[in-house]
């Protein structure tokens, strides 16, 4: 079997690039002949088509990347197999997607979104994102690298560290976590809430809004926003430094950071919806808050990235849910338990690690990929 992977290669620290890197790593370790190329590099892609002659071209992204991940390989006689995440409403390329023999998606919820928006579920298979459980491992709280992370963030010895990681924090549910922390402040040990976000203009504006909320809630002295560029090498140590990983994400097709936190034996607080229903077990590896609100829209405005002219409006016959909000009261109850019961944190962390190793390790995912390709496409 010869596989060409299309993603943000050489890999940035982004989720999609990491998704591609870990599949590539797993396939190579299985002995599969696999290479990677940037999905937006037509010349280099064509070079691989001509000499490597892959059996399948696996493109990692969302439906809006169809021209690069599907149409370009098809133009050169290749068999594309997109591995897709959800990104709001699937507004275009339905015919192209429906004519494919196989589409991979990252969770059952993502599959539901594609089917909702007109894509046949017959050829959609769920392939979760892999986790490097050799890198994301449990470490001692006294490990010098963990202590260095906490000191650099300004988390004092003896303080509980709650962590959220994302491109921005609000999309990962940080505002709901802040409301919860404000509600239980004084009923739990001393704490700091760390939000590690990616530096960009949109994030700067969101950070300001989040920190304004923290001040209004009276917890601004306990909320830390870390805005810097970091490599993937740093992430296991950052997660290792926390006591609780909290990410009741508003939109999450898989939940890579939640999975990585479980792999590090950290208890996770998230939401009882979307990709977390595949990756987390409520009451065993995580505590999942109920959905308090669904953000529903009756139209969207799309542009060239979706294959339309700018400011193209699509009206829905049936309004679409595009975002979720977790119940902050549930989050508060979950935090109260975990912050006051160290043994419970350990229990959830160990159960989480066991599940991730068994179901989401990158080698497990690579083997499942090979099985799907063999079964659906007859490629050996």
CATH of 144-290+327-359, one of 3.40.50.300, 3.40.50.10320, 3.30.360.10, 3.40.50.2000: 3.40.50.2000
With the C-alpha atoms ordered 217, 188, 203, 62, is the resulting torsion angle positive or negative?
A: negative
Is 149 within 8 Å of 240 (Cβ atoms)? Answer: yes
pLDDT computed for residue 312 by the predictor: 85
With the C-alpha atoms ordered 12, 259, 368, 88, is the resulting torsion angle positive or negative?
A: negative
Is 51 within 8 Å of 19 (Cβ atoms)? Answer: no
Specify the domain boundaries for CATH 3.40.50.2000 within the chain.
2-130+361-377, 144-290+327-359
Is 241 within 8 Å of 155 (Cβ atoms)? Answer: yes
pLDDT computed for residue 86 by the predictor: 86
pLDDT computed for residue 320 by the predictor: 83
Is 170 within 8 Å of 206 (Cβ atoms)? Answer: yes
In this structure, CATH architecture of domain 2-130+361-377? 3-Layer(aba) Sandwich (3.40)
For strands 2-7 and 56-61, give the pairing.
parallel
For strands 191-197 and 223-227, give the pairing.
parallel
DSSP codes of every residue in 275-304: THHHH--BTTTEEEEPEEEEEEEEEEEE-G
pLDDT computed for residue 87 by the predictor: 76
Instruction: Tell me the average confidence (pLDDT) per consecutive run of 10 residues in the chain, 380 residues long.
Output: 97 92 98 98 98 98 95 98 87 92 97 93 97 98 97 96 96 97 98 94 88 97 94 95 98 96 98 97 98 90 77 84 94 98 98 98 98 96
Is 321 within 8 Å of 237 (Cβ atoms)? Answer: no
| Tokens (6 digits) for 276 | 């977390």
What crossing angle do the helices spanning 174-184 and 201-217 adopt, rounded to 10°?
A: 20
pLDDT computed for residue 10 by the predictor: 93
Count of CA atoms in the C-beta half-sphere (13 A) of 320: 19
Q: How much is the pTM?
A: 0.94
Count other Cβ atoms within 10 Å, centred on residue 213.
18
- β partners of residue 301: 313
pLDDT computed for residue 311 by the predictor: 87
């Amino acid at each position: 079997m010869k596989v060409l992977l299309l993603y943000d290669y050489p890999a940035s620290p982004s989720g999609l690039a990491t998704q591609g890197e870990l599949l590539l790593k797993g396939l190579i370790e299985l002995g599969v002949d696999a290479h990677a190329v940037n999905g937006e590099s037509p010349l280099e892609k064509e070079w691989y088509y001509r000499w490597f002659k892959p059996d399948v071209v696996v493109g990692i992204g969302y439906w809006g990347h169809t021209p690069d991940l599907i149409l370009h390989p098809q133009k050169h006689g290749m068999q594309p197999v997109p591995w897709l995440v959800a990104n709001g409403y699937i507004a275009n390329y339905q015919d192209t997607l429906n004519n494919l023999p196989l589409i991979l998606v990252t969770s059952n919820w993502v599959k539901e979104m594609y089917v909702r928006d007109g894509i046949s579920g017959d050829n959609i298979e769920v392939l979760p994102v892999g986790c490097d459980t050799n890198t994301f491992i449990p470490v001692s709280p006294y490990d010098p690298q963990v202590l260095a992370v906490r000191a650099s963030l300004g988390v004092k010895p003896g303080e509980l560290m709650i962590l959220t990681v994302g491109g921005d924090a609000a999309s990962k549910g940080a505002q709901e976590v802040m409301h919860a922390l404000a509600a239980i402040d004084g009923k739990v040990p001393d704490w700091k809430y760390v939000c590690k976000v990616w530096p960009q203009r949109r994030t700067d504006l969101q950070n300001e809004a989040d920190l304004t909320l923290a001040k209004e809630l009276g917890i601004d002295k306990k909320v830390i926003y870390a805005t810097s560029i970091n490599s993937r090498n740093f992430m296991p140590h950052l997660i290792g430094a926390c006591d609780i990983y909290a990410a009741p994400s508003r939109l999450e097709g898989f939940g890579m950071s939640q999975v990585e936190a479980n792999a590090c034996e950290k208890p996770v607080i998230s939401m009882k919806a979307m990709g977390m229903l595949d990756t987390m077990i409520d009451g065993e590896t995580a505590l999942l808050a109920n959905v308090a609100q669904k953000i529903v829209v009756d139209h969207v405005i799309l542009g060239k990235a979706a294959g339309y002219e700018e400011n193209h409006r699509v009206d829905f016959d049936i309004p679409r849910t595009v975002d979720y909000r977790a119940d902050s009261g549930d989050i508060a109850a979950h935090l109260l338990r975990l912050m006051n019961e160290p043994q419970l944190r350990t229990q959830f962390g160990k159960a989480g690690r066991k599940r991730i190793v068994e179901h989401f390790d990158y080698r497990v995912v690579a083997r499942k990929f090979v099985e799907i390709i063999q079964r659906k496409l007859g490629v050996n």
